[in-house]
Amino acid sequence: MSGASAPRPVLIGWQTLLADLSLILFMVTAAALAARPPAGRSDPPAPLAAGAPLAIWREGSARPFAAWLIDQQPDSRQQLTITVPYAPGGALDALRRAAPAVRAGEATGLAVRVIVEPAGRGDALGASLAYDRAPAVARVLHHDP
Is 82 within the bounds of a domain?
yes
Neighbours of 84 (CB within 10 A): 26
Does this model's pTM top 0.75? My answer is no
Is 60 within the bounds of a domain?
yes
Is 92 within the bounds of a domain?
yes
Is 43 within the bounds of a domain?
no
85 in Cβ contact with 117 (< 8 Å)? yes
Question: Per-residue pLDDT tens for 36-66?
Answer: 766 666 666 655 666 788 899 999 888 999 9
pLDDT of 103 over the 90 cut: yes
SS3 of residue 88 by DSSP: coil
Is 80 within the bounds of a domain?
yes
What is the number of domains present in the chain?
Answer: 1
Is 102 within the bounds of a domain?
yes
pLDDT of 145 over the 90 cut: no
DSSP string across 67-101: HHHHHS---TT-EEEEEEEE-TT-HHHHHHHHHHH
pLDDT value at residue 33: 79
Q: Residue 57 sits in which domain range? A: 53-142
Is 31 within the bounds of a domain?
no
Neighbours of 7 (CB within 10 A): 6
pLDDT of 69 over the 70 cut: yes
pLDDT value at residue 21: 87
Which residue in 108, 102, 104, 111 sits closest to 131, CA to CA?
Answer: 111
Neighbours of 31 (CB within 10 A): 9
Report the distance separating Cα 79 and Cα 133, nearest Å. 6
Is 41 within the bounds of a domain?
no
